[in-house]
A and B are shown apart, each in its own frame.
Chain A
């Protein structure tokens, strides 16, 4: 079950973004996971609490957006819906297609809890250091 490794990868990304924003917590995580990513959303959901336990994202809500499979045909230029094991052009039947959606494995957005920080705190300094003068 490689979903746990994927969750640890996700956690390190979430922790990095949270740090960059001097966040005190993560409330919501939105992923996009396509059927061709090789990652099973159901298993990802089950593995996430194990990876996130004790972290800044321990109580975050994990939302997973599914993505439809779509292909673009290089023969007839049509764009059509497809399934994981049939990625042919539905207009002309050709196999020379390119997947334009359905293989996503993306961290889209995070909702962070941030303390409104006065200028002279470390967190405030850090936020300004990263994002420049505001």
Chain B
């Protein structure tokens, strides 16, 4: 009996007459108890270690297509670009459009070609990291593929998740896509300038829907057209960057508030299967 896995195989196949017993097919049940995305999670942990080594704060932006991720990044570079060295990994869409929009602001942008993939994974981000000089970066944004379903399942190694919801999408989206909104450390209600023409959107209802997901994440409104809310957003980023520097000094790290299951399992089992 194999004691490490309890698989019930015995190797006592040498017969008393000294001849080998014939090979026989058996079935054995093996308890694995491992997160399904263990390989991705391992790569994500390596990415996070890269970020920590280089004092980089990594923020993953998720939303449906067109909610305003790239526009927000452009506004953020204008507001914070003199203070923090920013870089962007662009996963949204196969074209170089978004990366080109970012580069126009003098910031390095790496376009990840996801092909038909509906999300970024830790390997894609790792590959992009090889094309970036992390020692020249303080704040790294990952613009995930525009999709309210898939990106939430894959840890990339980021420290924080930000989920955007634009006013025209409707305030019921957190209830319809609970997984991605639950993963958020901050929810941004974008395109606030459109609120006057869309009275059916209630920021309060959107925030309530986020609260119903047992999330303590702050919910902020922003508009890149009027600049409303950008100061709060930048203040959040500055505070997160400072917190990252403190963690770096005491050698700790942080993951987005919702932990993928694999990590939790390993902690519970004392890393039984590593």
Give me the interface of A with B, judged by CB distance under 8 Å: 1-2, 5-6, 9-10, 12-13, 17, 21, 23-24, 27, 31, 36-39, 71, 84-88, 95-99, 103-120, 124, 127-128, 130-132, 134
The 8 Å CB contact of A13, one of B32, B213, B216, is B32
B11–A2 CB distance below 8 A = no
Closest Cβ neighbor of B8 among chain A residues = A114
- Show 14 residue pairs from A and B whose CB-CB distance is below 8 angstroms, ordered by the A residue: A5-B154, A27-B27, A36-B182, A39-B153, A85-B213, A105-B37, A106-B36, A106-B265, A107-B32, A110-B32, A111-B30, A117-B13, A119-B14, A127-B2
Listed residue (A24, A107, A120, A130) with the most chain B CB atoms within 10 angstroms of its CB: A107
Distance of A88 Cα from B208 Cα, bound (Å): 11
B residues in contact with A31, CB < 8 Å: 36
Distance of A125 Cα from B227 Cα, bound (Å): 67
Q: How far is the CB of B154 from chain A (nearest CB, A)?
A: 7
List B175-202 residues whose CB lies under 8 Å from chain A: 175-176, 178-180, 182
B residues in contact with A105, CB < 8 Å: 35-37, 153, 260-262
Main secondary structure of the interface of A (DSSP, over half): mixed
B212–A118 CB distance below 8 A = no
The 8 Å CB contact of B153, one of A13, A38, A85, is A38
A114–B40 CB distance below 8 A = no
Known: A21-B5, A104-B261. 20 other contacts (CB 8 A): A6-B36, A6-B153, A17-B32, A37-B261, A38-B153, A85-B174, A86-B212, A87-B213, A103-B258, A105-B261, A106-B35, A109-B32, A112-B28, A115-B25, A116-B9, A116-B26, A117-B23, A119-B20, A120-B20, A131-B5
The 8 Å CB contact of B4, one of A95, A96, A114, A131, is A131
Distance of A16 Cα from B67 Cα, bound (Å): 41
A residues in contact with B214, CB < 8 Å: 71, 87-88, 95-99
With A2-B118, A37-B153 already in contact, the answer to whether A109 and B179 are too (CB < 8 A) is no
Contact with A along B1-29 (1 / 0, CB 8 A): 11111010111011000001101111111
